[in-house]
Amino acid sequence: MFFAYIDPGTGFTLFSFGGWLIAILLALLGFFLPFFKKIFSFLKRPKILIILACVAIVLVVIMTGANMAKKISAFDKKIILIGFDGLSPEIAEPLMEEGRLPNLARLKEEGSYSRLATSNPPQSPVAWSAIATGKNPGENGIFDFIVRDPKTYGLTLSVSNITKNKPKRVLKGEAFWQYLSKSGVPSVIISYPLTFPPDRLDGRMFSGMGVPDILGTEGTFTFYTTEPLPRDKDIGGNVFQVQRSPLMVLNLIGPKVAGAFGKADNVKVPFKVTLKDDNESIAIEFQDNKFEMKPGQWSGWKGVVFNIGLFKKMRGIFKFYLVETEPGFKLYISPINLDPRQPFFAISYPKSYSAWLAKKIGLYHTQGMPFDTWSVNEKRLTEAPFLEHANDVFGERKAMLNTELDRFDKGLLFCYFEITDIIQHMFWRYTDPDHPLYRENAPMEYKNEIKDLYERMDAVTGEVMKRLGPGDTLMIMSDHGFNTFRTAVHVNTWLRDNGYLELKDPYAPSGAELLSDIDWSKTKAYAIGFGAIYVNQKGRERDGIVEPGAETEALKKEISARLKEWTDEKYGAPVINNVYAREEIFRGDYAGKAPDLYIGFNIGYRASWQTALGGVPEGLLEDNLKEWSGDHLFDPALVPGVIFSNRKIVKKDPSVYDITPTVLKAAGYTDEKVGSCGFDGGPLF
């Protein structure tokens, strides 16, 4: 299913052993009870108690010594990093000239401003991983949202990895906060992408992109409607048709649970919806909740508890939005987030930090990608409730930042704002007259939404600038820029039309997603993700047919040359700006897992959603008729980000790889020590 970007996964399945295990455990307890009594009697002897006390004292001394030996840095200044995802120089620079971004303009004049070269490819997880580590995707292991297993052709997400109900770190190598922790410089990291599970560090961390919802996905909504369901199933949520009646019993959908011998199924919590006599409001009742709603209204946060097995519960929080009560009935339920007060998985370090934040600012979204864009793409929500929700998320993030700024006296503080990226994705169509969904008579508030948001981010900048003291360092940055997405490009279809890919049914007009209809015995290359092309290589792919070495390299050059010649006849424009061979952009221990070719699309063109999941649709190019109308998945040379700093940037042509070396130098690392870390960039000042 899809999420804010795209998700081929189906979430996790929890395993429960059921009531039969309780009986076995009780039986075993009865069997071993006599032995336990003898052990307890033995431990009560005075000599044994003295020995145990001595062991405890030794352990306390060892732990105290370890804490005393902990390195404490003499660094007593502040380093503040603020990430505005997708902030574009193409928008920020004119707005500064117009005087609409006074704080960023002042930061530019008193310090520095530059465009910031992004990663290749210019995807958010790739770029933020580059910023965090200062190293190439081949070294940090993050080179696309979607990755494939060559032995199975199976697709998974790169932003999270939950195996056997245990989350595993996806970012390879050390991040700047880990370097600082080893040097005794404390860090506070708020919502940095790809930090689930959270790292242990000297300081505090709230995990960002990669934290799943309660289903184990990156965000799945639920929608109940009396309208007939379309033939094409919603890909962003679970949608159910219901019969409108005075009393409806519906379900909150929880995680999948499988018993030792049973089939996995979602745990459900029923809730009652009662239509009030006026038919203009409803009452909702479940567990300890009972409240009323009117159409066009969001509920506050609601808590739900799912019983998932033996003595185990999973707690979630979510919101309702009542779309209408008549003539039909439509009710939206947001993705159910892990409850920060008692999260099933650790989403912060220390583990208690997420609950501490909830006490300070109230309940908040814990899902790593909290903006439900697909509910708008699929016409389940309109722009108005989406913006209301987005502003709530923005308010939560500001509250987190301000809470930490109030007690921040030294070390490093990072805070990530995703809203700039999301609003541009969803509202670009209101700014581009050539976009297929552009409407001349659209509400001015929607036409101005992106620029108005930039002004709000400028206000955040001003608030942070007030907290700086002499010698403190501030950097405001974005991971990439932005532009219009008018045309979806079906890369696998191009490969098929040009003889590089074959379907099991050669006469079929299209092939399904997840690479499921491809005839591997006749396929030389295939595409997944947002520009990645893999050679179906013998000895690497399960059913590879292309010999490694000279044959593979010749094929890569041939495909690359032909792709560069691809012209869109409708607009008379080149579809592709450049094609990069793996060895040009990926190097390091993980480069062998990276794509053989990566496409740098021209502005306006982007790999289709079907391509990302290995589909082979009809036609080569398709008008983008989704509300997701702006993007950054173009040739990286065309979408640089930005960097502002209160210190003078002296390095020419700065890039995302320069941030970590800059942070370390600002924290007291010598140039020699920074250079010894093997970064792909260097300090900016």
**For the residues of 635-685, what is the DSSP string, one character each?**
-GGG--EEEEESS---SSS-BGGGHHHHHHHHTT--HHHHHTT--SS----
Predicted pLDDT of residue 72: 78
- Do residues 138 and 148 lie in contact, with contact meaning Cβ atoms separated by under 8 Å? no
Note the pLDDT of residue 659: 98
- The list of the chain residues with pLDDT below 50 reads 1-5, 7-8, 19-26, 60-61, 63-69
Contact 264, 258 (CB under 8 A): yes
Q: What is the Cα–Cα distance from 192 to 415, expressed in whole angstroms?
A: 7
- 349 membership: H or E segment, kind and range: strand 348-349
Nearest 5°: phi and psi at 439? Answer: -130, 120
Q: Which percentage of the chain shows pLDDT scores above 90?
A: 85
Q: Which of 244, 245, 269, 241 is nearest to 255 (CA)?
A: 269
Give CA 365 to chain center in angstroms: 13
Cα–Cα distance measured from residue 205 to residue 198, given in angstroms and rounded to the nearest whole number: 7
Give me the pLDDT at residue 3, please. Answer: 39
Q: Are strands 337-338 and 312-318 parallel, antiparallel or unpaired?
A: antiparallel
Q: Is 457 helix (H, G, I), strand (E, B) or coil?
A: helix
Contact 437, 625 (CB under 8 A): yes
Are 191 and 401 spatial neighbours (Cβ–Cβ below 8 Å)?
no
pLDDT digit string, tens, across residues 96-134 = 999 999 999 999 999 999 999 999 999 999 999 999 999
Query: Was domain 81-137+172-211+368-480+638-685 assigned CATH 3.40.710.10?
Result: no
Cβ atoms of 133 and 171 closer than 8 Å: yes
Domain ranges for the chain, please list them. Answer: 1-61+219-343, 81-137+172-211+368-480+638-685, 486-631
Query: Which amino acid is located at 249 in the chain?
Result: V
Spatial neighbors of 49 by CB under 8 A, at least 6 apart, are: 43
Whole-number pLDDT of residue 596: 98
Choose which CATH entry (3.30.1360, 3.30.300, 3.40.50, 3.40.190) describes domain 486-631: 3.30.1360
What integer pLDDT is reported at residue 52 of this predicted model? 60
Which tokens hold the place of 166?
Answer: 């245990």
Question: pLDDT tens digits, residue range 532-590?
Answer: 999 999 999 999 999 999 999 999 999 999 999 999 999 999 999 999 999 999 999 99
Q: Let me know: does 343 contact 316? Beta carbons within 8 Å.
A: no
pLDDT of res. 19: 45
Neighbours of 323 (CB within 10 A): 19
- What is the distance, to the nearest Å, from the Cα of residue 547 to the centroid of all Cα atoms in its chain? 36
User: Quick one: pLDDT at residue 32?
Assistant: 56
- CA dist., res. 14 & res. 191, Å (int): 26
Q: 670: buried, middle or exposed (CB in 10 Å: 19+, 13-18, 0-12)?
A: exposed
Q: What are the tens digits of pLDDT across the range 47-87?
A: 666 666 666 565 544 544 444 445 678 999 999 999 999 99
Give all strands (DSSP E) within 478-586, no chain letters: 483-489, 525-528, 532-535, 567-568, 573-574, 576-581
- Give the list of residues 6+ apart from residue 563 with CB closer than 8 angstroms, or none: 494, 576, 579, 599
Above pLDDT 70, what percent of the chain? 90
Measured CA to CA, the distance from residue 622 to residue 638 in angstroms comes to 22
